[in-house]
Structure 1
């Protein structure tokens, strides 16, 4: 029985359970933002320290663990890793609820970040295995919409929770969602997949490329730390991250059991899908960080107006993501992505004259169009890269795509730091240079879209 045969029996309820579980990673990432001042006051810690330990640590752990988690799920079973990740969420939530000092809060956030890194690749892999190719675009479109809603709604939900129940409740806000997901999976279990052998911890360790994982962790950690620095420290960390990254790729090419198999990038649809994700996240995260600085410094805009401006982009993403999935299934991934890239370019062109904008309202239409383009592109890119690999590598492919998503954002912050510098007041010209760099990224993404799966292309399926 192959993956497609199994897929036809997966219920809507079990699909909803997977989407709810995966949404906890972006929700947990943004939920805590508005609670940081209250946490600092509550435990008597400096806000800068709190932010570094609870936000930066979450990002580092989550990004570094994506690849190994995807590989582990291929080895021991995606459902097992999904349940393990959900259990780890509970442990992390309990630690945060009971914490009396910064140390236990740090442990809590690291546990929740690792849980998200386990759940998201496992969820993507399960969708790849249990959804037939002709419906994958729709499912991955829903996945993109769900992740967008969770990320955008996190701060608002966090604010309400802190107001009603205090900052400790933020750490257990995920638990009702996880309980619902677990209940749905219990009542409507996933179809039986291809059984994986149970492995001891020793066998599992031997099956993982520990040295490669270490190089990946070093590279990403250096780059994330660089995003917090300026001057010589910034360039030193970027150089160290680049060296570690090159060493990682070189090592993985010859490793017996690689975390990321570089040979997957020889498959056009896989390479195109992952590069599209990285390039478009480069542009998206760049705008999320750049535009608030521009309108705050040069136009004196209120934070609320800036927030509404950015929320419009998120709305576009959420609305268009299911449509992108539908077009992927009905026409082709290639055509859906090309349409999305056309919208992305249309939005970017409107931002070319950023210096003439007087308020955040002037950028809203451009960001709405840009968000619609992001939503349309997500499903075809994800569906193509996941369909380009054999079922036994679904977890690894999911880990690669998740890592590339974060890597695009990290690189965007690094480039912003290099172009705009550490000073908050820089020339308008430098801001417009960044818009041109984001436009180039979108053009490259459009070129990549032509290598996605077209109508009639056979996906790589295996029993």
Structure 2
């Protein structure tokens, strides 16, 4: 084997390790879903209580930590943050395995959520630094596909694990994957790069925008909590979250070392990529929540048929993401995103006829096309926004994009709650309004795609 072959193998193995590590965040998010009833019985807790603590709590911690984790990654080094995240996963898994009550299970889930929030920005930043520009789209396409597979496969894997080993095993299900990732990184280490000098905890705290982190966390937490409320509580949480969010933006503009540098959004490709991700996740998560309600209420469809419908969309996204990444490298992020937006819009146009659909099968083609469009767009947008920033801000850029991804989903759930209301049975007109809102989001996303990197563009910090 010659030197170039060895280098290629090392790069592929280390990239695989990063993808496996990053997949644990979405896997951990969905893996527990089918285990909740068994957990409730096992510890004698109310199902509503444990769902709120173990699912909503996980989401809150994961979302609010993404941005700060990206900034910390730039300060201490991406590899250090990655290994810290892997260590936190192990601690969280151990706590879940030993827990006898809901309190320790909650701590376990929050620890694992924080671990995922550390790992994802770190892996994105490492791929930005160590993958050549000419191959970056392909790698980010694989990243999108890996995350989609992990999220979609979580419930199925969780069901098998609970059936074979009991509910406690879901808390350690990530460990074999993490062990494989750690083994690959040890055997095939990443290329050497600049590593920031070690900082004391006090020096690190002084380098962080603590006020900004607090405002961001409070704003996102209020919005997430609002998605679980209705009536006056829903309105109050929305208003409070919005006001705190405005305070966060105002503070970041003036902060000496902001957690989200506002100047990043002056880069057209970065701003366009992050907004595309938010808008498309707004539409995707909206459909994931709206269509099951529509088909179960208006068409009395079986849960299995609805599940297959949503799985088709995930399959489309997983298949198209690597293709989108490859085309991004060969053509340009802008062209691939335009093609993806055309597919997204084609799928939405078919859903304009939602009232005429008699079963979930009637919507499968629309969801498949929509999923293919998501795969193409996610790869091109992620590659473009990460390539647009200097290497020293790769962690922050990754944190911002991850936060925007979640923010799009959170806003979608909030709008669904406002339009469809808390009642199970709502008018067909309200469902049609949501489809039009998702269409508007896709059109805006297509407009944003014009600002992505075109053929021949290079980022200021690209190798």
Q: Give the TM-score taking structure 2 as reference length.
A: 0.98
SS where residue 295 of structure 2 aligns?
Answer: helix
- Which whole-Å deviations, capped at 9, do the CAs of 1:73-121 have from their partners, x for residues lacking one? 1000000000000000000001001100000000000000000000000
Residues 82 and 122, structure 1, Cα contact 8 Å, conserved in 2: yes
* Alpha-carbon separation, structure 1, partners of 2:413 and 2:217: 18
Pairs within 5 Å for 1:27-426: 27-426=27-426
- Counterpart in the other structure of 1:461: 461
Moved over 6 A (4+): none
Residues 8 and 131, structure 1, Cα contact 8 Å, conserved in 2: no
Structure 1 residue 13: Cα displacement:
0.2
Residues 8 and 130, structure 1, Cα contact 8 Å, conserved in 2: no
SS where residue 460 of structure 1 aligns?
Answer: coil
Residues 136 and 329, structure 1, Cα contact 8 Å, conserved in 2: yes
Structure 1 residue 353: Cα displacement:
1.2
In structure 2, the CA distance between the partners of 1:96 and 1:46, relative to structure 1 (3 Å rule), is same
- Counterpart in the other structure of 1:16: 16
* Alpha-carbon separation, structure 2, partners of 1:353 and 1:225: 33
* Alpha-carbon separation, structure 2, partners of 1:236 and 1:446: 33
- Counterpart in the other structure of 2:442: 442
Structure 1 residue 8: Cα displacement:
8.2
Structure 1 residue 402: Cα displacement:
0.2
Residues 25 and 120, structure 1, Cα contact 8 Å, conserved in 2: yes
* Alpha-carbon separation, structure 2, partners of 1:459 and 1:212: 28
In structure 2, the CA distance between the partners of 1:276 and 1:10, relative to structure 1 (3 Å rule), is farther
Residues 347 and 369, structure 2, Cα contact 8 Å, conserved in 1: yes
Residues 10 and 130, structure 1, Cα contact 8 Å, conserved in 2: no
* Alpha-carbon separation, structure 2, partners of 1:78 and 1:437: 38
Structure 1 residue 194: Cα displacement:
1.1
* Alpha-carbon separation, structure 2, partners of 1:193 and 1:379: 25
In structure 2, the CA distance between the partners of 1:215 and 1:439, relative to structure 1 (3 Å rule), is same
* Alpha-carbon separation, structure 2, partners of 1:294 and 1:9: 48
Residues 310 and 367, structure 2, Cα contact 8 Å, conserved in 1: yes
- Counterpart in the other structure of 1:3: none
Structure 1 residue 162: Cα displacement:
0.3
Residues 133 and 462, structure 2, Cα contact 8 Å, conserved in 1: no
SS where residue 256 of structure 2 aligns?
Answer: coil
Unmatched tracts of structure 2, length 5 or more: 1-6
* Alpha-carbon separation, structure 2, partners of 1:302 and 1:94: 38
* Alpha-carbon separation, structure 2, partners of 1:307 and 1:367: 12
In structure 2, the CA distance between the partners of 1:327 and 1:423, relative to structure 1 (3 Å rule), is same
- Counterpart in the other structure of 2:428: 428
Unmatched tracts of structure 1, length 5 or more: 1-6
- Which whole-Å deviations, capped at 9, do the CAs of 1:171-230 have from their partners, x for residues lacking one? 000000000000000000001111211100000000000000000011001100100011
In structure 2, the CA distance between the partners of 1:251 and 1:8, relative to structure 1 (3 Å rule), is farther
- Which whole-Å deviations, capped at 9, do the CAs of 1:369-428 have from their partners, x for residues lacking one? 000000000111001110111000000000000000000000000000000001010001
- Which whole-Å deviations, capped at 9, do the CAs of 1:269-317 have from their partners, x for residues lacking one? 0000000000000000000000000001111111100000000000000
